[in-house]
Structure 1
Amino acid sequence: MTAPSTEALHQPEPVEGRLLRNVCGLFVTGVTVITSGAEGSSEGTTVNSFTSVSLDPPLVLFCLHKESRLRAVVDESGSFVVNFLSGPQEPLARAFAGRGTAAITDVKHHRSADGMPVLSDALAFLACRLVSEFDGGDHTIFLGQVVELGVPREHQEPLIFFRGSLGALEEEPRGVHPIFDG
């Protein structure tokens, strides 16, 4: 039996993909389901590569693998919804992950003002108009302007992704501390 190494991990170029994935897995992210499409042709997929970009104008982004089935739906509709999941929605996150995913029609949902599917039991949602797309290697980066938002489940804990696992926060934050954007 060997003792665990106390030496810090360090890898110079070229960076190996699996190791990059493991290191990035140490960054805690929220879990979302991105939905898009008109009635009868709606799709959704689980995504944790989401971030807010700007408050004025209100912009957000997310990334999709270039072979994602949702990519063509977002391109065709020109809109998408970011559905923030709560801790108890881990089964929903799993249902929308992978190639053979849940159908929007199998999940309680309603339509945004511009007709995009919103998961009704989501912690919160942002309905967005597609502004631009950027090449991101094996992914496409989608930039959207927020045109509608809602918080139907305000007092629930978010679903998070850490070290390759989904889970809820274990305790509530103790206080509000400002985050300074410099």
Structure 2
Amino acid sequence: MTSTPQLHEPQPVEGRLLRNVCGLFVTGVTVITTGEEGRSEGTTVNSFTSVSLDPPLVLFCLHKESRLRAVVEESQAFTVNFLAGPQEPLARAFAGKGTAAVTDVPHHRSANGMPVLSDALAFLACRLVQQFDGGDHTIFMGQVVELGVPRERQEPLIFFRGSLGALEEEPRGAHPIFDG
């Protein structure tokens, strides 16, 4: 049996091109919050997914230089706050390096003491169960210990082609969201 010669050598994938292609995948927008009273932090993240129903596991990713990373590791818990379409200003306020303070927005505490954004579409309060190296990111996996849907009848905020927008409208502008 003879092997067929490879016609093309695989080329390294350039980060910006990968980001542009992955930007064609519509994602929801979340704000991850964590920290005890007095040291609560939050950041906008679209790298969230459900992992398992039994046990109830979810994950999200943070850049290794994210200011939130150490707070998640210290608290060993976090909340995933799903944002509604009208919450684009909130998503922007928690994006990037200099962000809004959790204390500046309506919030309450989950049963495990983590901050929950009171106006979120829904939330998942989680206990950190594992973290993994993911290149220039850390992957955080948590077990859901509490959940809620305070804004059931609203449309979600989405991220598509580098822009935010409500589901019922075309996302506008090219304002990047940073994942921590």
Q: TM-score, normalised by structure 2?
A: 0.88
Give unmatched runs, 5+ long, in structure 1: 1-11, 172-182
Counterparts of 2:45 and 2:149, CA distance in 1 = 19
Q: Is 2:38 the partner of 1:40?
A: yes
Counterparts of 2:168 and 2:95, CA distance in 1 = 23
How much identity, in percent, do the aligned residues show? 89
| Cα displacement (A) at 1:114 | 1.1
Counterparts of 2:129 and 2:24, CA distance in 1 = 30
| 153, 156, 162: which one aligns with 1:155 | 153
SS, match of residue 32 in structure 2: strand
Which residue is equivalent to 1:117? Answer: 115
Letter in 2 for 1:145: Q
Which residue is equivalent to 1:65? Answer: 63
Which residue is equivalent to 1:13? Answer: 11
Which residue is equivalent to 1:23? Answer: 21
| Cα displacement (A) at 1:48 | 0.1
| Cα displacement (A) at 1:170 | 1.3
Give the 4+ runs in structure 1 shifted more than 4 A.
none
Report 1:135-154 matches (<5 A).
135-154=133-152
| Cα displacement (A) at 1:50 | 0.1
Deviations 1:159-180 (A, max 9, x none): 0000000000117xxxxxxxxx
Letter in 1 for 2:123: F
Counterparts of 1:104 and 1:72, CA distance in 2 = 16
Deviations 1:23-70 (A, max 9, x none): 000000000000000000000000000000000000000000000010
Counterparts of 2:140 and 2:99, CA distance in 1 = 21
| 76, 80, 100: which one aligns with 1:78 | 76
Which residue is equivalent to 2:176? Answer: none
Aligned residues: 161
Counterparts of 2:11 and 2:58, CA distance in 1 = 31
Q: CA RMSD in A?
A: 1.1
Give unmatched runs, 5+ long, in structure 2: 1-9, 170-180
Counterparts of 1:73 and 1:17, CA distance in 2 = 27
Counterparts of 2:81 and 2:16, CA distance in 1 = 28
Letter in 2 for 1:61: L
Q: Is 2:52 the partner of 1:54?
A: yes
| Cα displacement (A) at 1:102 | 0.1
